[in-house]
Structure 1
């Protein structure tokens, strides 16, 4: 227990320091691993397994929210392929330059290509955490980022097979039959309900038919977990399952970041080469941005995608560790890549704050293309003659929409950044468009209509509502009333300080609505009949003293 307490104290303290410095906690977790290792603290048993389960659940959760159709778009697969090719060529040239100036020893071209190739990958863990903290997994740039990461993961699987000199087992072909069978057997899994059984089901599916089965046939276990997540994504309750695993996954991923520090204590040479490799990251981001821009995406979308992907992947460490075991890569190079990957994580944390307002401001300074030259999914959105806008069409937003339309007769338009949710509600006759309320361009188009009287912010993430308010204030609200929902009491004060006209605490508002409806039902007598119901006798419930007291009152009367 003493060793565990030491780990908890060090990890929490470093995470807290990072938080106070306005850096992502994962930077503190990385530092904790190096500090514990340098201090000679023993590696805690099971840390590697905890880290693997954390990564497995992360990719499983991605699969639960992944629309497989997004992978076949050219801005995803072609961008991923071109980026890996361009950055591999640039990386080989850069490593050759380091060898010429004497920072690294001479290496064969095959080794240089392998190192440059793994450095062209982006970190799945870092990029997905950025998206999840912003609630942007289903935003356009979020879908592009996830699609590119999946394509890179496939490339990593190929490289791991080549480095081992082993192709996947012939039994991998059996997955063609196994995956549909898993889909059939889990068709009604959501009936198990919520709570512990739901969590156990999710972990079991990610681990057994996902991680272990794919590993057994020579494929990436993490990729298998993601594919099983995709299989379950179309079932009811997939989003609820992802939410149920959210905190468990985050806690286990701490083990991954701490474990990086136990790869070894780098020498000064490793530090120098590792830090020099960070010079490639700005170029990596520029290549991502340039390719996405060439595919017709707007500057803001391209920049957000590029910043989320401008880092080095944890796969670099996995493949490097395999290389040291197989003898084609030295232990020194593994430590060098630890520095490069860790440094990339730190830079990614700084470059990707939760707020995206700075990126939006910078994007507005870049050259703008006419709408017909922009990708169809990223073109301007027309809001028509709507009198009310509801931003965020989840359960709360949809309830607000129905109330405004049915009770008040407002011409109401819903705005949702999740295309699947947008399509679902549109099929029910809801007037809804796909859009990102934190996007400056979106707000410019909204205000230009001149007919909007009411804007309701019903997005689940507090930061998103705040970003929307700030963008709206930047372009002017056109005199519209702004209302918002808040999950926590401190959020209420923050939104009011920003000038939001009406802010309702979610649970307080639900309680008030319930009380209003209950009292209205009593006053009007409009209580629906209940078949077979008997008059409620409260004397049959409660303590013996209550029943005795009631009986005495009855006899006195």
Structure 2
């Protein structure tokens, strides 16, 4: 029977690190070292669970993979140039440290130096996705750019993992080129599995059977198979739902991966020093991202926020080194060094990401010279026109409000949304909608006079976005009325403190809408509304 402390101890450490504002995976890494230090050295059952976590991570990446987004210059160019330059600079730095006499570095061959430099070139997908989702920024230009760069990095890692197997694939591997022909069959199955446990089972089966197992059978890395299967399913309407249904499983299994790192043994003093020395590369990594992204015409604010999101070392670095150690290319001590380096980078990156907006405002004037003159097509100034009503966030709530208000205000309504596909859909349906990120301070700096606007409706799905927008409206001395949506009483209170006159609870409003339609249906609406208790 498994020792319950194997669950309780990582949980307690994860809660502890989150209390002080750090990602829980730092707690899992520390728990692995602590369990080893407590004498629990052999946990072989963790290995297959950890492998499954990595496979599901790659399968989920494939499900979200939009090849069109990877074709954008700032994504493929930024990822390729950053990793190439980092490989060269980090490689030279590591060799220099070896020449200075640092024992761990001086023992590295050229091949090992390049492997270590390659592992240091990745940014954490898990960390970035969590940060972007908490901010509600995953669909902003900087969020999409950061995610695209991370996917490109992950693809580079998969290529390495496949090559590190050290064996030529079977001639039958060419048969895998026929997998896209089976996509209609996979789609039909996905249509029929519903939305519950069968959907989860379908995802696990696809990642492990035609994905990992089939690719391993023909001599290819199973990780590549999981990624390819995710990619084949990415175009299905339920791909996003499938990814969300597997999310908790993936996160749970990845805990086992982080725990197995600790099973490599407690770090020595020299390994701790090596990790701290490698941390000196982190400022260079961030500065390089900022420089490259501004050269790809992203505004300073977009490039800065993407840099904070990507300015860390990655769990994929651990995966790369694990594969190198399994192939006999690296000493196991470097896995402990890399684990410490990743942990230290998260400790620095977490507060920077949390306070990213404030940090940007503090440094904006000093960095303004980096602002490109010729801006990205999605960074152009927004022309508001002459609206009387502005709706920020054109999802289901915003579009419903737009259609109802049109009866009173006609065409003098403007919708604002940060998703290009959402803007295109609304334009095709006859609504006046422009693309803009209301959580971007520079967005408000570029606005024309808002004196003609009588009403601003904040209908974004995330409270943080509505709250920030209300703050910005205060700063520009907005004279019109403000209404917003919320989910919880504490959100409504925070919005009222920021000058929002009307706050609508989306759950209560949905219930009222159902009741109104039912009364209309039964013909009793007038009687019910006028009835006395």
- State the TM-score, normalized to the length of structure 1: 0.85
| Aligned residue in 2 for 1:324 | 325
Relative to structure 1, the CA distance from residue 483 to residue 247 in structure 2 (aligned partners, 3 Å threshold; closer, same or farther) is farther
| Aligned residue in 2 for 1:28 | 27
Check conservation: 1:83, 1:287, Cα contact below 8 A.
yes
Check conservation: 2:158, 2:223, Cα contact below 8 A.
no
What is the CA-CA distance between 1:434 and the residue it aligns to? 2.4
What is the CA-CA distance between 1:285 and the residue it aligns to? 0.7
SS in structure 2 of the partner of residue 357 of structure 1: helix
SS in structure 2 of the partner of residue 263 of structure 1: coil
Check conservation: 1:300, 1:363, Cα contact below 8 A.
no
- Report the number of matched residues: 524
| Aligned residue in 2 for 1:50 | 49
**Distance (whole Å) between structure 2 residues aligned to residue 525 and residue 313 of structure 1:** 59
Check conservation: 2:65, 2:151, Cα contact below 8 A.
no
| Aligned residue in 2 for 1:388 | 389
What is the CA-CA distance between 1:81 and the residue it aligns to? 1.6
SS in structure 1 of the partner of residue 446 of structure 2: helix
| Aligned residue in 1 for 2:94 | 95
Relative to structure 1, the CA distance from residue 279 to residue 492 in structure 2 (aligned partners, 3 Å threshold; closer, same or farther) is same
- State the TM-score, normalized to the length of structure 2: 0.89
Relative to structure 1, the CA distance from residue 380 to residue 61 in structure 2 (aligned partners, 3 Å threshold; closer, same or farther) is farther
| Aligned residue in 2 for 1:428 | 429
Q: C-alpha deviations, 1:436-487, integer Å up to 9, x for none?
A: 22101222334634332222222222222223223333333x2132222222
| Aligned residue in 2 for 1:310 | 311
**Distance (whole Å) between structure 2 residues aligned to residue 468 and residue 220 of structure 1:** 47
**Distance (whole Å) between structure 1 residues aligned to residue 26 and residue 237 of structure 2:** 36
**Distance (whole Å) between structure 1 residues aligned to residue 163 and residue 481 of structure 2:** 61
Q: C-alpha deviations, 1:67-121, integer Å up to 9, x for none?
A: 3211111211122121112111111221122212222333322221221122112
Check conservation: 2:28, 2:259, Cα contact below 8 A.
yes
Relative to structure 1, the CA distance from residue 474 to residue 449 in structure 2 (aligned partners, 3 Å threshold; closer, same or farther) is closer
| Aligned residue in 1 for 2:178 | 177
Q: Is the aligned partner of 1:39 residue 2:76? A: no
Relative to structure 1, the CA distance from residue 340 to residue 485 in structure 2 (aligned partners, 3 Å threshold; closer, same or farther) is same
Relative to structure 1, the CA distance from residue 127 to residue 235 in structure 2 (aligned partners, 3 Å threshold; closer, same or farther) is same
| Aligned residue in 1 for 2:502 | 502
Check conservation: 1:380, 1:441, Cα contact below 8 A.
no
Q: Is the aligned partner of 1:488 residue 2:488? A: yes
- Gaps of at least 5 residues in structure 1 are 527-557
**Distance (whole Å) between structure 1 residues aligned to residue 496 and residue 247 of structure 2:** 30
**Distance (whole Å) between structure 1 residues aligned to residue 42 and residue 469 of structure 2:** 45
**Distance (whole Å) between structure 2 residues aligned to residue 427 and residue 441 of structure 1:** 28
**Distance (whole Å) between structure 1 residues aligned to residue 493 and residue 42 of structure 2:** 45
Check conservation: 2:299, 2:372, Cα contact below 8 A.
no
Aligned 1:66-81 pairs, distance under 5 A: 66-81=65-80
Aligned 1:11-410 pairs, distance under 5 A: 11-41=10-40, 44=43, 46-104=45-103, 105-183=106-184, 185-187=186-188, 189-353=190-354, 356-362=356-362, 364-365=364-365, 366-367=367-368, 373-406=374-407, 409=410
**Distance (whole Å) between structure 2 residues aligned to residue 461 and residue 467 of structure 1:** 10
Relative to structure 1, the CA distance from residue 217 to residue 503 in structure 2 (aligned partners, 3 Å threshold; closer, same or farther) is farther
**Distance (whole Å) between structure 1 residues aligned to residue 418 and residue 297 of structure 2:** 19
Check conservation: 1:58, 1:125, Cα contact below 8 A.
no
Check conservation: 1:394, 1:459, Cα contact below 8 A.
yes
**Distance (whole Å) between structure 2 residues aligned to residue 180 and residue 350 of structure 1:** 47
Relative to structure 1, the CA distance from residue 391 to residue 54 in structure 2 (aligned partners, 3 Å threshold; closer, same or farther) is farther
What is the CA-CA distance between 1:191 and the residue it aligns to? 4.8
Relative to structure 1, the CA distance from residue 100 to residue 259 in structure 2 (aligned partners, 3 Å threshold; closer, same or farther) is same
SS in structure 2 of the partner of residue 367 of structure 1: helix
What is the CA-CA distance between 1:308 and the residue it aligns to? 1.6
**Distance (whole Å) between structure 2 residues aligned to residue 326 and residue 251 of structure 1:** 27
What is the CA-CA distance between 1:406 and the residue it aligns to? 4.1
**Higher Rg of the two aligned structures:** 1
Aligned 1:456-475 pairs, distance under 5 A: 456-475=457-476
| Aligned residue in 1 for 2:529 | none
What is the CA-CA distance between 1:277 and the residue it aligns to? 0.3
Q: C-alpha deviations, 1:357-388, integer Å up to 9, x for none?
A: 22441463231678861111222222222222
Check conservation: 1:360, 1:440, Cα contact below 8 A.
no
Check conservation: 2:384, 2:448, Cα contact below 8 A.
no
| Aligned residue in 1 for 2:531 | none
What is the CA-CA distance between 1:282 and the residue it aligns to? 1.0
Check conservation: 2:459, 2:466, Cα contact below 8 A.
yes
What is the CA-CA distance between 1:172 and the residue it aligns to? 4.0
Q: C-alpha deviations, 1:246-300, integer Å up to 9, x for none?
A: 3443333333333333332111011100111011011101101101111111111
Relative to structure 1, the CA distance from residue 182 to residue 147 in structure 2 (aligned partners, 3 Å threshold; closer, same or farther) is same
What is the CA-CA distance between 1:314 and the residue it aligns to? 2.2
| Aligned residue in 2 for 1:511 | 511
Check conservation: 1:404, 1:410, Cα contact below 8 A.
no
**Distance (whole Å) between structure 1 residues aligned to residue 463 and residue 58 of structure 2:** 25
**Distance (whole Å) between structure 1 residues aligned to residue 371 and residue 321 of structure 2:** 46
Q: 281-290 or 488-497: which moved more?
A: 488-497
Relative to structure 1, the CA distance from residue 95 to residue 356 in structure 2 (aligned partners, 3 Å threshold; closer, same or farther) is closer
Check conservation: 2:23, 2:127, Cα contact below 8 A.
no
Q: 425-434 or 141-150: which moved more?
A: 425-434
Check conservation: 2:261, 2:335, Cα contact below 8 A.
no
What is the CA-CA distance between 1:177 and the residue it aligns to? 2.1
Check conservation: 1:157, 1:219, Cα contact below 8 A.
no
**Distance (whole Å) between structure 1 residues aligned to residue 219 and residue 502 of structure 2:** 57
What is the CA-CA distance between 1:44 and the residue it aligns to? 4.9
**Distance (whole Å) between structure 2 residues aligned to residue 422 and residue 217 of structure 1:** 45
